[in-house]
Structure 1
Amino acid sequence: MGEPVVTDEDGTRWITLDRPEILNALSVGDLAVITEAVAGIGPEISAIVLTGTGDRAFSAGMHVNTFADATPDSGRAIISSVRDCVGAIRLAPVPTVAMINGYCLGAAFEMALACDLRVAHPEVRFGLPEVKLGIPSVVDAALLHHYVGLSKAKEIILTADLYSVADLATYGLANRIVPPAQLREAVLDLLAPITACTREVIAAQKELFETWLNNGLQHGIDTSVDVFADLFNTPATLAAIAQYQMSRSRR
């Protein structure tokens, strides 16, 4: 047990955080492994799933020892590693799913927020404890208010409390909530209709999500028109349309 385990199975890359004895807490080295595993996918990979070993934690976030004797320069290096890792997850051209099997805290919560989808069981606890360490929640904690609204996001960040799946259920933070034994099945079921689409269209749609998130309404609409038109240059789109027409004609 140590650095994250990366395995490929039936077109899905599984990244498993593998330090269960310390709640799968993360090191800077672990972040580098995850970043490379996400950014280095080839055309044979159509989805990425992040999870943790054991039944106690997805991950407790960065190991507290990471910040021992930190200086402004080393602190910047640490948080830049978090930014790069979480950014790679958010910008991956394939669907990303956090299979959350226990505590999901700090940087790990940011990873889960950066994923496209989240599957959790009822006993999962979420939290951003950074302010208790005298540091702010940053990086993709900035996404939290898009999921739960600004008021709730401020509460979660400023109190540094733990929140159950039930506490956040009304906000739709978890796309599926299932018993622990059904997590993997639920992830695969959720991915099935997505990975059945062309890789090109999923990548384009994900790029549009980023455009919509980071730009004004009209720019997002205009960019969407361009992306829509450009995809008619791709053989995958033309083949998908032809296949859909054929399936409709058989009905």
Structure 2
Amino acid sequence: MSFTCLVKITKQCSFVNPSRSINLLRECSRSLSSTAQDGNEIIVEKLSGKKEGITVLGLNRPAAKNAFSRSLVNRFTSILSDLAHDKHTRVVVLRSLTPGIFCAGADLKERLQMTPDEVSKFVSTLRSLLISIEQLPMPVIAAIDGVALGGGLEMALACDMRTAAEDVKLGLVETRLAILPGAGGTQRLPRLLNPALAKELIFTSRIFDGSAAKEMGIVNHVVYQNDTQDAAYAKAIELAKEIIPNGPVGVRMAKKAIDKGMQVDIATGYAIEEACYAQVIPTKDRVEGLKAFAEKRKPVYKGE
């Protein structure tokens, strides 16, 4: 507890006002809780009510524009490890809590202090982090309400879907620094776009806005920014709410079938689809879906 809080409480106690002292304790507790939260580089929020099943990951490193530092990467890795085994989370939404910034990429100030070996190790760790996002079993939506450059855009590309404000700035700009997108950007962007267009964007380090990203197929939805700076986040939640009523096992298996199937020839893809379908046949959710259809009611899925 802070010294200021203790002084306030001591003064109140000296006037024998226990009720006021308790209120001050609560006030200080809220203040300290808020301060502690501000110090967290990623805030995890599990939504409730009609949004239950949505877990929001909020990037919260405003002083460095949410740039990837060692500490942020370590914290993020730990969170993803827990999420990968969370059966209650049906959709993950990745957003920024820093107005005007999604993620500015690597922390170049920290990078400047690294040796070549340390840089190589860090980039490898960052690449593994983004692969972990990509391989989460549930859908992941990136809500881009601010600038997403370099590793920031690479992170968004690792998500299953993306929403963006029309005027945000995006780009894989690494070649401006005499390097290349090294956290999966050279692999994900060509799979998303015409490879020749992906090469053009990477070779030129071109920066483009949300509207252009939608035209190119980089984002699923582009929205007009509003006064609260969270239009893309609102759209991402809207999209997540369309997903959560559906059978969670079916959604997870569909994601697995798509992601694995894209990496192989079509015949092998069919086999992967068959294997994924086989995993939904014995589930209670599948039976619940059939019963709900017959009884003309909404199904209640439990992920079993």
Q: Could you tell me the TM-score, scaled by structure 2's length? A: 0.76
| Residue pair 1:49, 1:96 contacting (<8 A) in 2 also | yes
Is there any run of 5+ residues in structure 2 with no aligned partner, and where? 1-37, 298-304
1:150 matches 2:195: yes
CA drift at 1:162: 0.8
- Largest Rg, 1 or 2: 2
Q: How far, CA to CA, are the matches of 2:45 and 2:206 in structure 1?
A: 34
1:21 is aligned to 2:59: no
Matched residue, 1:169: 214
Q: Answer yes or no: is the 8 Å Cα contact 1:97–1:187 preserved in 2.
A: yes
Match of 1:226 in 2: 275
Match of 2:72 among 10, 25, 30: 30
Deviation at 1:238, TM superposition (A): 1.9
Report the number of matched residues: 248
Percent identity for Structure 1 against Structure 2: 24
Cα distance in 1 for residues equivalent to 2:279 and 2:232: 37
2:197 aligned counterpart, secondary structure: helix
SS class of match (2:242)? helix
Letter in 1 for 2:133: I
Change (3 A) 1:168 1:183: closer
Alignment correspondent of 2:3? none
Structure 1 residue 107 corresponds to structure 2 residue 151:
yes
Name the counterpart of 1:197. Answer: 246
Deviation string, structure 1 residues 144-187 (Cα, Å, up to 9, x no partner): 01222111111111111211122232222221111233333311
Counterpart secondary structure, 1:110: helix
* Alignment-derived partner of residue 214 in structure 1: 263
Q: Answer with 86-95 or 35-44: which moved more.
A: 35-44
Secondary structure of the residue aligned to 1:214 is coil
* Deviation, structure 1 residue 30: 0.7
- Larger RCO: 1 or 2 (CA < 8 Å, sep 6+): 1
Q: What is the CA distance between 1:63 and its match in structure 2?
A: 0.9
For the pair 1:83 / 2:83, whether they are aligned, the reply is no
Deviations 1:65-120 (A, max 9, x none): 23214334212211122112111110111111111011101111111011111111
**3-state SS of 1:180 partner:** coil
Shift of 1:6: 1.7
Contact 1:38 1:48 (C-alpha < 8 Å) held by counterparts = no
- Is there any run of 5+ residues in structure 1 with no aligned partner, and where? none
- The 8 Å contact of residues 70 and 122 in structure 2, kept in 1 or not, is answered as yes
2:234 aligns to what? 185
CA-atom RMSD in angstroms: 1.7
Between the aligned partners of 1:167 and 1:193, the Cα distance in structure 2 is: 25
